[in-house]
Amino acid sequence: MPAWSRNPRYIVLILVAVVTTLYLLGPFGEPDARPPPPPPRVASSIQDDDLPNRLARSDKIYEKLLLDRKELIKKFGPTPNDVALFPPNKNPWPAYTVWDFFPAAYNCPFEIQRLGALGDGGKWVCGITRVETKPDCIVYSFGINYESSFEAEILANTDNCQIWGYDFSVNSFGPEIPRSQAHRTHFRPYGLAGTDAHGPDDVHKMYTIESLMKMNGHTHIDILKVDIERYEFETLTALIKPYVASGKPLPFGQLQLEIHLWDFSFSQFLTWWEMLEEAGLRPFWTEPNLVYQNYNRGGSTDLAEYSFLNIKGDNIFIKDPKRRPPPEAEHNRHAPDPTP
């Protein structure tokens, strides 16, 4: 006689095993329509005590880069007016492009993380963990174009960051912003420019960064993203020059910027770039816009993404908000001489 017929307990065990197997292997009810959870946050392994030393080492590395740039200008110039952005042939050799003069030579003292989509849309950020729980975290994003994966991942990686987005060519953020986080976003159909101006019938409103900050009651921006199709030169010049003249630190911690070198000369770009450096901006990441180059095959790679750290002032990416670094750690941390 089979064991299961002699003892009813065997029947119960077999039924439990069958039901459990079917439950684990077979779908029950409607599939879960909820979006997948965001990726786990990246923890920073950098100790605040070591932050001044890391920045000091990065300063030395960047100072060498400035000397190397001067030598490269002499080699292919000998003056900035003689240097071509993109040499049209193999003379001079070895070949170069304008981007070789401006590498991202500054080391971010924290983790570097790409936030947003791979390809067009994402940006590289230094130390997002520094604002993970910051109660007054402020992010400005100029240039939305209905693609908001960057902004969505900032929301996913922080608890309190509020994002202000601006773009007069669209009516809202992109679909990547989840409804559960929409209360932390603020969109206006405004453009960014060097002066405040309104178009006909009060459309295409243009504002400076400082005007928008005053409008919103902000004195500091933690992360500033700018992708405005070449207007970055006019806009950032208007913002930065007064700060350079006064010696005051810029009102933001880091800058994610796409640069468009349309109708520019090397000497013009060098002068503008040196203004950024004098204001305390240091590039820690760069990549050419290969999507644009692919659409314009045979043309120059005259678009590039850069991420800058602001090494002046007391922003959260260079100073511990709880403890001030010793005075000797700040010794000789001055703006380098930009003259080639």
- Number of independent structural domains in the chain: 1
Mean pLDDT of 304-309: 96
Give pLDDT tens digits for 276-303: 999 999 999 998 876 666 666 666 688 8
Q: Does some domain include residue 264?
A: yes
Within a domain: 5? no
Q: Which residues pair with 192 in a beta bridge?
A: 207
Contact 227, 142 (CB under 8 A): yes
298/43: higher pLDDT: 298
The tokens describing 328, both together, are 């000797």
Please check whether residue 252 lies inside any domain of the structure.
yes
CATH code: domain of residue 308: 3.40.50
In a domain, 164, yes or no: yes
- Other C-beta atoms within 10 Å of 90: how many? 8
Closest CA to 106 of 333, 288, 266: 333
Name the residue with tokens 């630190």: 249
Q: Which residue segment(s) compose the domain that 136 sits in?
A: 48-330
Q: Do residues 248 and 279 touch, judged by C-beta distance below 8 A?
A: no
In a domain, 336, yes or no: no
Phi-psi region of 121 (alpha: psi -120 to 50; beta: other; left: phi over 0): left
Is residue 265 situated within a structural domain? yes
Q: What average pLDDT does the segment 189-210 reach?
A: 86
**Are the C-beta atoms of 310 and 252 separated by less than 8 Å?**
yes
Q: Predicted confidence band at 317 (pLDDT cuts at 50, 70, 90)?
A: very high
- pLDDT of the residue at 32: 41
Give the separation between CA 236 and CA 177, rounded to whole angstroms: 27
Average pLDDT over residues 197-213: 85
Identify the pLDDT of residue 249: 97
Residue 179 pLDDT greater than 80, yes or no: yes
Establish if 21 belongs to a structural domain.
Answer: no
Does the global pTM surpass 0.95? no
Residue 210 in any domain: the answer is yes
